[in-house]
Structure 1
Amino acid sequence: MTRIGYTLMGEQSGPADLVRYAERAEEAGFDFEVISDHYFPWLESQGHSPYAWSVLGAVSAVTRRVELMTYVTCPTRRYHPAVVAQKAATVSLLSNGRFTLGLGAGENLNEHVVGPWPAVNVRHEMLTEALVIIAELLNGGYVNFPGKHFAVDSARLWDLPDRPVPIAVAVSGETGIERFADLADDLIAVEPDAELVSVWDGFRGKRHSRKIGQVPVCWAPSRDEAIRIAHEQFRWFGSGWKVNAELPGPAAFEGASRFVRPEDVADAIPCGPDLDGIVAAVRAYVDAGFTDVALVQVGNGYQDDFLDVASKELIAKLRADLRPANGPA
């Protein structure tokens, strides 16, 4: 059965709120929680961007059951891959093995703070090296790596979980799958693309693999209020990741989204108290072959109300409506 997740969206909430939401989301019945790993919000109106790894440490302490995951960390610019491996091992230990390390090639928005943003082919080369380094360190022992982009000299992780931390990687096409499918355990994608899942499974063969997607929604007491919030907070969403990855800061996202209308956002994001739209958005991923789908509740103002609705109605509805017609729940 499809696993339903909750997104700790650091761009729209401060660290204390994120920890509280994480605890409430577990109580509400979500299966897993993912957290964004940003230095900037996309828009100034979102107003936040705490350090994701500190939040994860606190979340590990207040939750007991839900799996945790970065969605996603870029291990090539702000962070050296050897340090990412150390962080992942530590969070896995703190959470008793509930952590998956989600990785991706990153966005200019967050990575330019430490220097120039590389071209996409260079970013993919860097991510390839990073995945090798991280996997070797998480498997234990000393690692030496004289790469083109990274050098590792006699590195070792001294605190490791009994089971290696699973690694998921964000890909958007066949080229990325060819490069990364053998270097990671699970797939992350931002569109319900059945062909992408099929190609990934073809490369992975019989090896078990999760396919993890994410769906923005905006629950509010009225549809008009939800559309207003979604337009204010998430209108950048429709540009696509190939564009978004190159934009350098919130001002650029403001400019790129200045002609996006509220009705455009409403067409792309389920808005309002009607839960059927949320189910339909998740079903698109399920039909494409995704095993895990994390919901993003857009906006900070109605997070508690959304979690109330999730606890009382939404999660049960998702499980019932997405149950295979001829299979078990």
Structure 2
Amino acid sequence: MRIGYFLSCEEYTPAELLQQAAAAERAGFDALWISDHFHPWNDEQGQSPFVWSVIGALSQVCSLPVTTAVTCPTVRTHPAVIAQAAATSSVMLGGRFVLGVGTGEALNEHVLGDPWPSLDVRLEMLEEAVALMRKLWEGGFVTHRGRHYRTDTARIYTLPDEPPPIYMSAFGPKALDVAGRIADGFINTSDDADMVATFKKDSGGKPAQGGYKVAWADSVDEGVDHAHRIWSNAGLPGELAQVLPSPRHFEQASQLVTRESTAESVVAGPEVEAHVEQLRSYLAAGYDEVYVANMGPNHAAMIEAYGRDVLPEIRG
């Protein structure tokens, strides 16, 4: 069982992310997730630093393992470039790096003007990308002529001792099927025990990482206010998160998310038992690692409280 802290690139500056990572290590968190975005979900979040620069800096301020949650290696960035970035990150982190991948969102991937493919095509692209990255990590020259990608005598020279594991995010049955076949681990953001069990069955028992966000504050109402103001997009249903192309569209759609529904869906405020209960629900779902992010300005207080009260309660 490993409990990690989730660094949200959509909401915090690079300096704040580094401060949070160092504080998380001091507080007793075991590892880090970090999101990979070109845009934030909305302008209220207001940030979106280049994740690979931040990961390089993380290697210099703490010793925690890092997983990208998640990178899309298919549209905005060619998988050969992601393979090089991941290999360098693993070297800088002493092998403590996991490349978390997924099929992405139009929000980030449309920015070069490429069409946004259907889910079936995106899964096909991801499967080819994963195979190509693994081939590049073998260290030789790779000339690849695939359905979606090409490389011409490409070779990655800076390689870790072992290739980075590739974990795959999946939210539906088609993606879960692909993850069970090609991934070294599973990533999800709900405490869905059935999905975890299905992945473990299909993959032969490979590990699973889960993550979620809380809103630490002096009161529940204050925490809900932060969550609803900054992250109301998390309440959008269905496939909207995958197909809306800009923060403006998310802001428009998020007007349909009520404060009441936000209050029902997030743990907010300072009550330790509520935070412990949610963490236990993810562990009970079968995750081997669980990562917790904070929404809003009280990240330092959240990290301190988790280190003092929540993590000891979970670990017994």
Task: Please indicate, yes or no, whether the TM-score normalized by the shorter chain is above 0.5.
Answer: yes
- Aligned: 1:38 with 2:34: no
Alpha-carbon offset, residue 155 of structure 1: 1.6
- Which structure 2 segments of 5+ residues have no match? none
Q: After superposition, where does 1:292-303 map in structure 2 within 5 Å?
A: 292-299=289-296, 301-303=297-299
Report the Cα offset of residue 142 of structure 1: 2.3
Aligned partners of 1:288 and 1:310: how far apart in 2? 21
- Corresponding position of 1:63: 62
Counterpart of 2:267 in 1: which secondary structure? coil
Number of residue pairs matched by the alignment: 315
Cα deviation for residue 51 of structure 1 reads 0.6
Whole-angstrom CA distance in 1 between matches of 2:288 and 2:16: 28
| Equivalent position of 2:301 in the other structure | 305
**In structure 2, what is the equivalent of residue 326 of structure 1?**
none
1:128 aligned partner: 127
Q: 1:143 & 1:305 partners in 2: Cα distance?
A: 48
Question: Pick from 208, 217, 224: which aligns with 1:220?
Answer: 217
Structure 1 pair 196–124 and aligned structure 2 pair: CA distance change class (3 A): same
In structure 1, the partner of 2:81 is 83
Q: Which sits farther off after the overlay, 239-248 or 15-24?
A: 239-248
Report the 3-state secondary structure (helix = DSSP H, G, I; strand = E; otherwise coil) of the residue aligned with 1:284.
helix
Q: Percent identity?
A: 40
Shift of residue 221 of structure 1? 1.0
Q: Is the 8 A contact 1:215 1:282 kept in 2?
A: no
Instruction: Deviation per CA, 1:95-136: give whole Å up to 9, x if none.
Output: 111110000000011111012222222211111111111111
* Amino acid of the structure 2 residue aligned with 1:31: D
- Alpha-carbon distance in structure 2 between the residues aligned to 1:162 and 1:241: 41
2:10 is matched by which residue type in structure 1?
A: E
Partner of residue 97, structure 2 = 99
**Does structure 1 retain, via aligned residues, the 8 Å contact 2:179–2:199?**
no
Amino acid at match of 2:166: I
Look up the equivalent residue of 2:105 and give its one-letter code.
E
Q: What is the alpha-carbon distance in structure 1 between the residues aligned to residue 25 and residue 79 of structure 2?
A: 30
Q: Is the 8 A contact 2:188 2:210 kept in 1?
A: yes
Q: Tell me which amino acid in the other structure corresponds to 2:301.
A: D
| Deviation (angstroms), 1:289 | 0.9
SS at match of 1:191: coil
User: Counterparts of 1:137 and 1:24 in 2: how far apart (Å)?
Assistant: 35
Shift of 1:79: 0.8
Distance, in Å, in 2 between the alignment partners of 1:298 and 1:240 is 20
Of 171-180 and 154-163, more deviation after overlay is shown by 171-180
Q: Is the 8 A contact 1:10 1:50 kept in 2?
A: yes
Range that drifts further, 288-297 or 302-311: 302-311
5+ residue gaps, structure 1, are: 321-329
**Structure 2 length-normalised TM:** 0.96
Amino acid at match of 1:232: R
Match of 1:282? Answer: 279
Which residue is 1:323 aligned to? none
Give 1:241 shift. Answer: 6.0
Tell me what 1:175 maps to: 174
C-alpha offsets along residues 125-164 of structure 1, whole Å, 9 cap, x if unaligned? 1111111111111233222221111012222111111111
Q: Which stretch shows the higher mean deviation, 163-172 or 239-248?
A: 239-248
SS of alignment partner, residue 130 of structure 2: helix
**Distance across 1 between alignment mates of 2:186 and 2:237:** 18
Amino acid at match of 1:256: A
Question: What's the Cα RMSD here?
Answer: 1.3
Residue type at the aligned position of 1:310: Y
> How far did 1:59 drift?
0.4
For 1:81 and 1:305, the matched residues in 2 are separated by: 38
TM-superposed deviation, 1:178: 2.5
Contact 1:270 1:277 in 2 (8 A): yes
Query: 1:144 touches 1:153 (CA, 8 Å); kept in 2?
Result: yes
- Which of 253, 258, 261 lines up with 1:261 in the alignment? 258
Q: 2:310 aligns with which of 314, 319, 327?
A: 314
**1: CA distance, partners of 2:183 / 2:122:** 17
Deviation at 1:238, TM superposition (A): 1.6
Aligned counterpart, 1:246: 243
> Is the 1:181–1:204 contact (alpha carbons within 8 Å) kept by the matching residues of 2?
yes
Amino acid at match of 2:11: Q
Deviation at 1:166?
A: 0.8
